[in-house]
Amino acid sequence: MAAPFPPPPGPRFVLRGTQSPVNTLHFCPASQALGNPLLFSGSQSGLVHIWSLQTRRTVAALNGHKGQGVTWLKTLPQGHQLLSQGRDLRLCLWDLAEGRNTIMDTVQLDSVGFCKSSVLARGQLCWMLAVPGKGSDEVQILEMPSKTSVCTLKPEADAKPGMPMCLGLWQTNSSPRPLLLAGYEDGSVTLWDILERKVCSRIACHEEPVMGLDFDSQKAKGVSGSAGKVLAVWSLDGQQSLQVYKTHELTNPGIAEVTIRPDHKILATAGWDHRIRVFHWRTMKPLAVLAFHSASVYCVAFATDGLLAAGSKDQRISIWSLYPCS
């Protein structure tokens, strides 16, 4: 009889001390970490913790969201700056250079939903920001740091996709035109041309709200997860048309987040069923089911060196070293 597959390894280590469910995670780019790899976590209590992965302890706790949950974190390419989005209707821009932990600027948000914002670098000193808009189905595009409104993307009256649930700004290397992928409450994914303010393509991927998506611009291929059981993989052709070409059904419903590793080899999902699932990105072959957390996993993030972090309602952050980058 064939020997059974060995169980996947446990986490490399676990970070404790948020004292609140962990909503979002983001690794500090290696170029900014200066030899001390850092992980940012956003908690339901409104704190942003900065973790040293060397000492496995917090370096600082940023308190800028008045006790309201932090839903999204992102570092900016132009130096030691961090964006944090909270349920207090504020997006804070933090200055973290030379040990500082100060708020440089804020953006007032119009939507208290769970939709995470998205950033696209537009040169060394400016960047584009997509945030949920004032209308329940709108997305607002801002030029930053001036906060100049570029446009408001509103679906046609007969579309009725519901609220935007997740956003992804991107552009191809061959074209300066910014594009936006948005996952909506009705389970659809839409590609917007921002300069034209029009829908390029829209596909019905899920029967439940889209909770997370990620896009691989090298392969012109993306993946989305929802409150249901289905992971949907979709492609984008030269005419900017989206097409679903593969789906994978999970055992249990509820995918809080999905993220592709920076080397485009594997992807990970955060499950409401307490599980982290890892897939081969090209084939969508299941590689591992990581069962460590005792409550829903809300977020997953990859570092450029392949390290995987997962945050959970159980107030723990697990750090995994799986399938090392080649």
Q: Is residue 73 part of a domain?
A: yes
Q: Is residue 41 part of a domain?
A: yes
Q: What is the pLDDT of residue 259?
A: 97
The pTM of this model reads 0.93
Q: What is the pLDDT of residue 4?
A: 55
Q: What is the pLDDT of residue 45?
A: 96
Q: Is residue 324 part of a domain?
A: no
d(CA 297, CA 22): 8
Q: What is the pLDDT of residue 247?
A: 93
Q: What is the pLDDT of residue 5?
A: 56
80-104 burial, b if ≥16 CB within 10 A, otherwise e? bbbbbbbbbbbbbbbebeeeebeee
**Domain span at 39:** 20-109
Task: Give the strand pairing for 90-95 and 102-108.
Answer: antiparallel
The residues with which 42 forms a beta bridge, in sequence order, are: 24, 48
- Contact yes or no for 104/81 (Cβ under 8 A): yes
**CATH number reported for the structural domain that contains residue 81 in this entry:** 2.40.10
As a 3-state breakdown, the chain gives helix, strand, coil percent values, each rounded to 5, of 0, 50, 45
Residues of the chain with pLDDT under 50: 1
Burial of residue 127 (number of CB atoms within 10 Å: 0-12, 13-18, 19+): buried
Q: What is the pLDDT of residue 325?
A: 75
Q: Is residue 94 part of a domain?
A: yes
Q: Cα-Cα-Cα-Cα dihedral of 12, 300, 76, 65, to 10°? A: -110
Cα first-last separation, the chain:
33
Q: Is residue 312 part of a domain?
A: no
Q: What is the pLDDT of residue 272?
A: 97
Q: What is the pLDDT of residue 122?
A: 80
Handedness of CA 197, 115, 293, 55 (dihedral sign): positive
How many domains in the chain? 1
d(CA 115, CA 119): 13
Q: Is residue 35 part of a domain?
A: yes
- Model pLDDT for residues 10-59, shown as the tens digit of each residue: 899 999 999 999 999 999 987 666 667 899 999 999 999 999 999 999 99
Q: Which of 154, 157, 179, 155 is nearest to 168 (CA)?
A: 179
Q: Is residue 103 part of a domain?
A: yes
- Model pLDDT for residues 98-112, shown as the tens digit of each residue: 888 999 999 999 877
Q: Is residue 290 part of a domain?
A: no
Q: What is the pLDDT of residue 85?
A: 96
d(CA 72, CA 101): 17
Q: What is the pLDDT of residue 34?
A: 64
